[in-house]
Chains A and B, each alone.
Chain A
Amino acid sequence: GNSVTQMEGPVTLSEEAFLTINCTYTATGYPSLFWYVQYPGEGLQLLLKATKADDKGSNKGFEATYRKETTSFHLEKGSVQVSDSAVYFCALHLTSGSRLTFGEGTQLTVNP
């Protein structure tokens, strides 16, 4: 079956620190990969996506590269801000259906 595994949280960083949240996946086809972000008290928002191998998704200073050889899609940001505090979800989607498969979510807290 299809699955997404994220690094365990919670993650606590100081402002301006470098962020990596690991994500690996298992899929029976060629998935599209996504990072969603959930700010406190809100629904999920799409942060970035990559639809094929070696694509790099980027948005708001966050980046992730679709690595087919390692089946990974790690999220990175060079300098986090307090406003980046949220829960981050890695997800995959297969073109054969409309289902999004989410990882467990990683809580990020950035302290000033």
Chain B
Amino acid sequence: DTAVSQTPKYLVTQMGNDKSIKCEQNLGHDTMYWYKQDSKKFLKIMFSYNNKELIINETVPNRFSPKSPDKAHLNLHINSLELGDSAVYFCASSQEGRGRYNEQFFGPGTRLTVL
């Protein structure tokens, strides 16, 4: 009965490789997010999708490409991985109301290590 799940939990790879992280939510939410958390725990939003449409796209290298095949899934593909991409990546979801905040539910995170 996991609400927001991510796979894999750990990902170790070489520089220059291409990798994907998958996210699924079973909460029926219409909005999903990707966050990056660096080694100092600083959390920064990368992307947000609402009903499969991109609504937030922060200043992120275009090596990062989100893909939302349906409302329940938001995957993150990263090309040509660099050392600086090493971080913990969190997926989250929420049900956005009209001008009202609804709680964001976070996945357990994917720890990416680029060697």
Contact = CB atoms under 8 A, between A and B. Distances in A.
B94 A98 contact: yes
Q: How large is the interface on A (under 10, 10 to 19, 20 to 34, 35 or more residues)?
A: 20 to 34
B43 interface: yes
B108 A42 contact: yes
B55 A98 contact: yes
B41 A99 contact: no
Q: How large is the interface on B (under 10, 10 to 19, 20 to 34, 35 or more residues)?
A: 20 to 34
A98 B42 contact: no
Interface in B87-115: 90, 92, 94, 96, 99-101, 103-104, 106-109
Given A42-B108, A44-B90, A99 B101 contact: no
Contact of B90 (A43, A46, A51, A98): A43
B96 A43 contact: no
A32 B85 CA distance: 31
A98 B42 CA distance: 19
A51 B101 contact: yes
A63 B40 CA distance: 25
A95 B99 contact: yes
Contacts of B94: 98
B21 interface: no
Interface in B15-48: 31, 40-45, 48
Interface of B: 4, 31, 40-45, 48, 50, 55-56, 90, 92, 94, 96, 99-101, 103-104, 106-109
7 contacts: A41-B108, A43-B92, A43-B106, A44-B92, A98-B48, A104-B40, A105-B42
